[in-house]
Amino acid sequence: MKPEQLKKPDSLPLLLLVEDSQTTTALLSKYLGGSYHLLHATDGVIAWQLLERNPDIAVVITDIQMPNMTGHQLLVKIRRSDDDRHKNLPVIVMTTAEDNVDRNLAFLNGANDFINKPIDEMEMVARVNVHYRLASTIRELEASKKALAKQATTDSLTKLKNRRAFFEKGAIALVMARRYVSDLSVILLDIDYFKKINDTYGHQAGDEAIITVAQILNRMAHAEDTVARIGGEEFTLLLPDTNRLGAAVLAERIRVAIEREQFIFGDKIVPITVSIGIASFGVDPSESIDQLLGVADNRLYLAKNGGRNRICVNDDGKATFA
């Protein structure tokens, strides 16, 4: 049997009713249909299909005794799901059983609430409303928590990771590189003559230059890399599984891409270049991610001292090239 949709008022919360009795289905549709948009399944198999297709389902009401997949089996599947939206769903269980066996098993399997048949309208409506509001509040708190966590690790201007996020990810990456004897490199770059851009064209031009560089870095980095803005015009790339040669190749590609970028502010073409320092785990001192970044910073200074618009991979400056 195909999943059945009983009502479809778009503004109402979505509720999944899992029940093979037409009588009970009709009653609950009458009791809850004015406040909820009901989806109906006659067994757990169909219910699971509906759950996977409808991420907005807010509450599940399920019978216990059903063909194909019972309410207990559905509960277990929901609570063992890898998807948080499933395993945290409020589930209300219905049964005609007079003993406590089904009730206790339902709670052990993760039911939030339990109601006996025949269903009392006021009791059912009250319980559904309570669990819906509670779940909604929890979801809002979780969303707010995630938003705050993202805000705490995101640079507001460029939307890249910020300094805090770079050091957190860098510390983990360094531990993994040591544990698995793998490569890890850091690229540190700085926009050349950035103060001159601000003084000549204004701070808005400076901000747009920073955003342009950030977009280029994001575009050129690999999915596993971390791109961060760690200072005013300073950016860094954390490159797991990348040795010094690989980092140098990427750094040179970045340098060339930024040099060739047509940055236009107002009616003026404003040239942008960057100087880049590189440090690599296993080659350079790297007791901490801060120390590794310090090595890259020294080489960034050599690149700037050597004429800017170039990369540096070695402390003697001989490997500095444009």
DSSP character string of 112-140: SEEEESSPPHHHHHHHHHHHHHHHHHHHH
Of 4, 52, 123, 233, catalytic: 233
Q: What is the pLDDT of residues 138-161, one digit of tens each?
A: 888 887 888 787 778 899 999 999
140 tagged catalytic:
no
Distance in angstroms (rounded) separating the CA atoms of residues 295 and 185: 11
Q: What b/e readout covers 40-77, taking b as 16+ CB neighbours within 10 angstroms?
A: bbbbbbbbbebbeeeeebbbbbbbbebeebbbbbbbbb
Residue 92, phi-psi category: left (phi > 0), alpha (psi -120 to 50), beta (remainder): beta
Average pLDDT, the chain: 90
Termini Cα distance of the chain: 69
| Extended beta strands in 32-183, E state | 37-41, 57-63, 91-95, 113-116
Q: Is the pLDDT of residue 9 over 50?
A: no
- Lowest-pLDDT range of 168-182, 186-200, 262-276: 262-276
Model confidence pLDDT, tens digit, residues 37-79: 999 999 999 999 999 999 899 999 999 988 889 999 999 999 9
Identify the structural domains of the chain with CATH numbers, from first to last: 4-151 (3.40.50.2300), 163-312 (3.30.70.270)
H-run or E-run covering 268: strand 268-269
Predicted local confidence at residue 117, as pLDDT: 87
pLDDT given for residue 5 in this prediction: 46
pLDDT (average), residues 204-214: 94
Q: How far is CA 213 from CA 12, 163, 198, 257, 275, in A?
A: 45, 17, 15, 9, 12
Q: With 60 as the cut, is the pLDDT of residue 233 above it?
A: yes
Closest CA to 79 of 40, 108, 56, 45: 108
Confidence of residue 175 (pLDDT cuts 50, 70, 90): very high
Least confident of 116-120, 155-159, 192-196: 116-120
